[in-house]
Amino acid sequence: MPQHEQATCPKCGSLFECKVGSYFICDCSEIYLTREQAGYLAERWDECLCCKCLNEFKASWDSIPDSENKQSPSD
């Protein structure tokens, strides 16, 4: 059985249990991100974000300006 690690969210600093080796049982598996959203996060963070930050990011996606490297659907 893979070991789960205690991680610190690089965005908010909270501690959470990261189950990157067991994605299907990880809390974040319930948060759907588009490829564009996942790419945006990957460009800014090298580590997993906590579920609270992922949910806040998803909720604020439409307010992120296109000038922050969001690609338009035609790209």
> pLDDT tens, position by position, for the chain (75 residues)?
456 678 899 999 999 888 766 666 777 888 888 999 989 999 999 988 999 999 999 999 988 887 666 654 444
All residues at 6 or more sequence positions from 58 whose CB lies less than 8 Å from its CB, including other chains: 31, 33, 37
Q: Which pTM value belongs to this model? A: 0.75
Of residues 53, 61, 43, 55, the one with CA closest to residue 16: 53
